[in-house]
Amino acid sequence: MTPCSKATETRCMNPSASPVVIVGAGLAGLTAALHLADQVPVIVLAKRGLSEGATAWAQGGIVGVLGTDDSIESHVRDTQDAGAGLVDETTARFIAERSAAAVAWLVEQGVPFTPDQEGPLGLHLTREGGHAVRRIAHAADATGKAIHDQLLAAAKAHPNITLRERWMALDLITSRHLQRDEAPRCYGIYVLDMDKQRVETLAAQAVILATGGAGKVYHYTTNPDTSTGDGIAMAWRAGCRVANMEFIQFHPTCLYHPQETSFLITEALRGEGGHLKLPDGTRFMASHDDRLELAPRDIVARAIDFEMKKHGIDHVWLDATHLGEAFLKEHFPMIHARCLALGIDIAREPIPVVPAVHFTCGGVVTDLAGRCDLPGLYAVGETTYTGLHGANRLASNSLLECVVLGRTCAEQILSEAAAEALPLPAWDESQVENADEQVVIAHNWDELRLLMWNYVGIVRTTKRLERALHRISLLRSEIDDYYSNFRVTRDLLELRNLVECAELIVRSALLRHESRGLHFSRDYPRTLPVSFPTVLITNYNQR
């Protein structure tokens, strides 16, 4: 579909000075953009609004090894403990060592963190599950939005950064599209301009995938609608390895309410003393882990799932009433206001909560400079597998990873000579037509997400996984046929990427014959004494 046809030949590009194209306008993408833009032109693409990504939804905060009671070793140890034996120690140490500088850089950008005159850098630090000490810098309970708003404003003001809303990446342009007999590399990207309903060809000296995770592959998730695994799927189709896709983090406490199906109740509420309870008021975490409500997320999520099934209940309660109304309004103003608007006064009654998909711990394999297997292609943030998160992510390490590796990625690109600028083939849609029935996409979307929720959830079995894989293969066939015959739309592209990610998750889960971290199998309940990441390899020439 991609080489130039006679009808589109005149639209082939012949760039003289290609920009760096960043797919995704969240923290990872904006960090890279701001570190690049003083030296090279940058285009940042957002497939919806510039503020609709996952970063703005992050409540808790960002890790910073700042306090006198803290250390790099302590942070690395906590990261390893949460990651259940699959954390790459070199990666964890590299990022922990740069955590203080990352927080300081955000302070320099004007991010309004919650202050504390006696705290390091003048910041208030909170604690979350899995952390030995208080080390989470935060802006009340809306840290992601505070960070994103400030960096987005800086990007808008920079003359060398072009921000494009409603532009969705389709696929990477590689040596295969140019029919060049050479080692594969990335030369650019095809992008759908949704307002004009036209596919554009963007040449790039480098492409950075910062598209976030794949949470929308599940029916219940705390993720925004943008989290459809686009970067993971595009990199896989271009021949890159992916790793640890079986480790999908379920956040233990998503608000249970018919009007708010994706509202997260931050981990920090438990960090400040919130208690998980059954309907009769009994606390239950002591039966599951000595760390109680501050155990890592995988343990807390499984504990809640166990208690819900044991007692036949739809949710459990998170009780913070003992913390007092003044404290809750000061430290958790967004949660207090949102719940109050729904008729829940968290200062006087417990909050109904359930686990929901929250974070994709695996992704595109990269090094600590964001380099993928394909030269010219980089990836940063939740899209990636760097070894930091292992089998379970430690709370608030995600924002830290975005800032630290967003910077190292930019530095790596600036250190390399730009590849030869070549004419790129325009997108060829001469053999397709407008879709006849969009209901097919909606039906397959719903079926896929329910399938993943029911068969590939918190607790798994081999039989369920095999059934899921069989059905996914049928859905993939239907989606591929649709994609081959009709003009692309955002819904079609997202569905195509989701089914790709679903297959990667299930295939990875079937390869892991143990229970570890976020992957719990009834058929393999024990944890092996030694384990390794699950790495999937694709054949570049067959994609």
Phi and psi, residue 57, nearest 5°: -90, -15
Assigned domain for 424 exists = no
216 shares a domain with 126: yes
- In terms of domains, do 75 and 146 share one? yes
Is 36 inside any structural domain? yes
Q: For residue range 92-103, what is the model confidence (pLDDT) as tens digits?
A: 999 999 999 999
Indicate whether 331 and 377 sit together in one domain: no
* 241/127 same-domain check: yes
Domain total for the chain?
A: 3
- Dihedral angle of Cα 50, 51, 57, 60, to the nearest 10 degrees: 100
- Window from 78-92, 101-115, 324-338, 411-425 with minimum mean pLDDT: 411-425
Burial class (CB in 10 A: 0-12, 13-18, 19+), 359: buried
- The answer to whether residue 4 scores a pLDDT higher than 80 is no
Residue 386 belongs to a domain = yes
Task: Check whether residue 239 and residue 290 sit in a common domain.
Answer: no
Contact in structure between 113 and 137 (CB atoms under 8 Å): yes
Q: What's this model's pTM, rounded to 2 decimal places? A: 0.88
pLDDT tens digit string along 174-228?
988 887 778 899 999 999 999 999 999 999 999 999 999 999 999 888 888 899 9
Q: Does any domain span residue 22?
A: yes
**Do 137 and 263 belong together in one domain?**
no
The DSSP bridge pattern shows strands 167-174 and 136-137 to be: unpaired
Looking up residue 79, the CATH number of its domain turns out to be: 3.50.50.60
User: In terms of pLDDT, which residue wins out, 85 or 181?
Assistant: 85
Sign of the Cα pseudo-torsion (25, 30, 33, 38, in order): positive
Burial class (CB in 10 A: 0-12, 13-18, 19+), 32: buried
Give pLDDT tens digits for 24-55: 999 999 999 999 999 999 999 999 999 888 88
Last residue of a domain, one of 357, 372, 391: 357
Residue 519 identity = H
Strands 206-209, 20-23: pairing is: parallel
The whole-number pLDDT of residue 485 equals 82
C-alpha 254/C-alpha 261 separation (Å) is 8
Together in a domain, 115 and 191: yes
Asked which of 346, 381, 415 is the last residue of a domain, the reply is 415
Average pLDDT along the chain: 90
Instruction: Kindly state the tokens that stand for 208.
Output: 């950075």
Residues 323 and 210 in one domain: no
* pLDDT for residue 250 is more than 80: yes
Pairing of strands 459-460, 520-521: parallel
Does residue 489 lie within any of the structural domains?
yes
Q: Same structural domain for residues 70 and 164?
A: yes
* 34 plus 120 within the same structural domain: yes
Kindly state whether residue 164 falls inside one of the protein's structural domains. yes
Q: Is residue 399 part of a domain?
A: yes
Could you tell me if 66 and 193 lie in one domain?
yes
pLDDT at 541: 56
Same domain, 129 and 258: no
Residue 56 has phi, psi (to 5 degrees) of -65, -15
Helices (H), 83-188: 89-97, 99-108, 143-157, 175-178
Provide the domain limits for residue 82.
Answer: 17-246+361-415
What tokens appear for 271 in the block?
A: 């960090």
pLDDT tens track for 462-492: 999 999 999 999 999 999 988 888 888 899 9
Residue 407 lies in a domain: yes
Question: Is pLDDT at 6 greater than 60 in this prediction?
Answer: no
In this structure, what CATH number is given to the domain that contains residue 320?
Answer: 3.90.700.10
Cβ atoms 204, 32 nearer than 8 A: no
Which of 357, 381, 400 represents a domain boundary (last residue)? Answer: 357
Which residues are known catalytic residues? Answer: 297
CA 347 – CA 326 distance, rounded (Å): 9
Q: What is the DSSP string of 222-264?
A: SS-TT-S-HHHHHHHHTT--EE-TT-EEEEEEEE-BTTBSS-B
